[in-house]
Structure 1
């Protein structure tokens, strides 16, 4: 009898292992098939959630034609991406082409630094020495800083090479977002059903919280970084600062990573003061400094109420996303990590709600609903 039971147990175990193995292989193969589409579809869904309120307002202007409103939003988004990309890429391309032409002609003439450069606190003397070396003996300077130059050129080439692919990914994601927004009610209902099935009675509330977090982070972090980069970038182009396109891109990346834009703005200020007249330099300085601190009043306006994601969470998500998926991961990582943080905090607070309810029931307090809502 014992041997028979043991044989049945082994057979059942082997049958279960085979089923689980086949299921695992099916999931793995399925993921390999859909992996190229995961990031654009996920990013498209996030964009759709963030832009849905604007699409609904636009839908009223189009007399209830949701598909036309969603398409218009996608076209506007693509235009807002393509126009700055063309300007920034054109600036980078012109700068590289001009540098190559100058190097090929052998007529390299770098103006020497002024005394203003040496008067800069802390770094003035070293900066003056390096600048003077490049202006008087370019060959020696290049040989001395050759490893650093190679690293910088390689980094720039990598960024430029991935920019076009990132732009195409954004365009595809916006097209997917338009499709999601056109069928928002059906998709929202399906997601709510799945969420309730997976996490229980709080699934619908968590879905609403996820949507609020997406809108808050995408507008309050990515949106603010985009506006700030455009303000600072316009100053760079107006005052003909070299590498204006790269500086604009750097400001955008720093803004999403929640790092101060002054990291790249201060060197530009020093350059303008060294090469242009005092009036122009002062105007430029005021312009970029105001743009650099604009996030302090833009974030409260766009971040929304009720969603308070710590900046370290955004920073880790942005940097980790960029390392994992390139420039688009910079945007995607910040949003996804913020969603997980908010859901985790909601899960922690959900455990406290029954305790508060039980405590008030014992004490006979009439404000049960208010306290439970506050706990949530």
Structure 2
């Protein structure tokens, strides 16, 4: 018996899709304040999950004791240092903002150039010729942009309350994820499998590898280099060492390294006559500046190899989009997307036809269609 095909109920389909869309948007709107904190916690937990399992084996298989130790470690090594650094940025940046916004910022006279043997007089004369030919006018035109840019960066760091709220949420969600990590992973994998079968399950695992690569190979390396560089600055007596530590962490995150901060500090120490501490800081900077060559490959090998331009874009874009917390979230989002895209593209073999032949085949197909 032939069964007639039932007509499609278009209004029912449209209303169903509309209802689901409204529910999804409403749910995202409700949990919106917690999304960044949860994403931050997920990054931390995925990167440190092997440490939790090792602690659990050492603590007689007790998950509760392992979670307690990991929570204390997060507070001591992560939450407190970041809170202190951000507060220090706000406190130490007040003189800089006042100086920039006062309108009294001019190019320096650089009298010390005269003391340079052989070429000092020429350098000093050339510098003052530049000032006389419009250097002050250039500085006057650049001052509003410098003030706006500096104010924007400081404003991002000045959201102490927001950042501390995300830190608290990160700590709370990390405790939950440490305690119920296996159940959360199984739930995510189940959803991904239901959504895209085996590809969805594999995508979740690839995303975890990318997150671990960024968290370990980039963020941890930047924190280690920045903090060690800051210790060297503080011991050597460099002023605003804490603020410069934050700058070194940022430069290390964007793969420049801490040397753009350490080298001027060394020059300043030698120029001020403190050759002993200048030599100490020089030796310390040689160690800190090359530390990433040894740490990053070991840590990235635990996750997935990622292009450095991807990390740079993630850091800058994350900072603009989400503020200070975007330094950690931005690279993770781009790394996960890149890994999924890369695997999807490489499921098909690359084209073997030379470019000229491919264009000729396409032109031939178009001519056949026109002739028909």
- Per the shorter chain, which TM-score range? 0.7 to 0.9
1:232 aligns with 2:226: no
Residue matched to 2:67? 70
Cα offset, 1:338, TM superposition: 1.0
The 5 Å alignment of 1:176-187 reads 176-187=173-184
Instruction: Mark the CA change 1:21 to 1:319 in structure 2 (over 3 Å): closer, same or farther.
Output: same
CA distance in 2, matches of 1:112, 1:333: 41
Cα distance, 1:155 vs structure 2: 4.1
Work out whether 1:256 is the aligned partner of 2:253: yes
Looking at structure 1, the residues matched to 115 and 20 of structure 2 have their Cα atoms a distance apart, in angstroms, of: 67
* SS of structure 1 residue aligned to 2:9: helix
Find out whether 1:93 has 2:125 as its counterpart: no
Tell whether 2:306 aligns with 1:314: no
CA distance in 1, matches of 2:149, 2:275: 31
Pick the aligned partner of 1:59 from 56, 60, 77: 56
**1:175-229 deviations in whole A, cap 9, x for unaligned?**
2112111111211211121121222223333332222222222011000000000
1:326 positional shift: 0.8
1:32 and 2:25 are equivalent in the alignment: no
User: In 1, Cα distance between the equivalents of 2:214 and 2:114?
Assistant: 41
Which residue, out of 206, 216, 220, partners 1:219? Answer: 216
Measured on the aligned residues, the alpha-carbon RMSD in Å equals 3.7
Given the superposition, is the C-alpha separation of residues 321 and 90 from structure 1 closer, same or farther in structure 2, using an over 3 Å criterion? closer
Distance in 1 of aligned mates of 2:302 and 2:194: 29
Tell me by how many angstroms 1:14 deviates: 3.5
Contact kept? 1:91, 1:244, Cα under 8 Å: no
2:205 is matched with 208
**Structure 1 unaligned residues grouped into runs of 5+:** 1-7, 101-109, 134-141, 354-376
Mapped contact 1:213–1:342 kept (Cα < 8 A): yes
> What's the TM-score, normalizing by structure 1?
0.74
CA distance in 1, matches of 2:346, 2:292: 30
Q: Higher mean Cα deviation, 295-304 or 223-232?
A: 295-304
1:328 maps to 2:325 = yes
Provide the rounded CA distance (Å) in 2 between the counterparts of 1:307 and 1:348. 17
**In the superposition, relative to structure 1, how do residues 212 and 155 fare at CA in structure 2: closer, same or farther (>3 Å)?**
same
Picking from 287, 291, 299, the partner of 2:288 is: 291
Structure 1 residues 348 and 46, CA gap change in structure 2 (3 angstroms)? same
The 8 Å contact of residues 117 and 274 in structure 1, kept in 2 or not, is answered as no
Rate the CA distance shift 1:129–1:91 in 2: closer, same or farther, 3 A: farther
Which of these residues, 333, 337, 346, is aligned with residue 334 of structure 2?
337
Gap change, CA 1:269 and 1:70, over 3 Å in 2 = same
Match of 1:169 among 159, 166, 170: 166
Please tell me whether the aligned partners of residues 50 and 215 of structure 1 are also in contact (alpha carbons under 8 angstroms).
yes
Structure 2, unpaired ranges of 5+: 1-5, 99-107, 132-138, 351-372
Aligned length: 328
For residue 361 of structure 1, what is the aligned residue in structure 2? Answer: none
What is the deviation of 1:15? Answer: 3.8
Are 1:304 and 2:301 matched, yes or no? yes
TM-score (norm 2): 0.75
Question: How far apart in 1 are the matches of 2:96 and 2:258?
Answer: 27
**Cα deviation, residue 152, structure 1:** 6.3
How far residue 233 of structure 1 moved from its aligned partner, in angstroms, is 0.6
Aligned twin of 2:105: none
Map of 1:136 onto structure 2: none
**Residues 88 and 248, structure 1, Cα contact 8 Å, conserved in 2:** no
1:95–1:242 Cα contact (<8 Å) kept = no
Residues 133-163 of structure 1, C-alpha deviation per residue, up to 9 Å, x if partnerless? 9xxxxxxxx9898546634652464144124
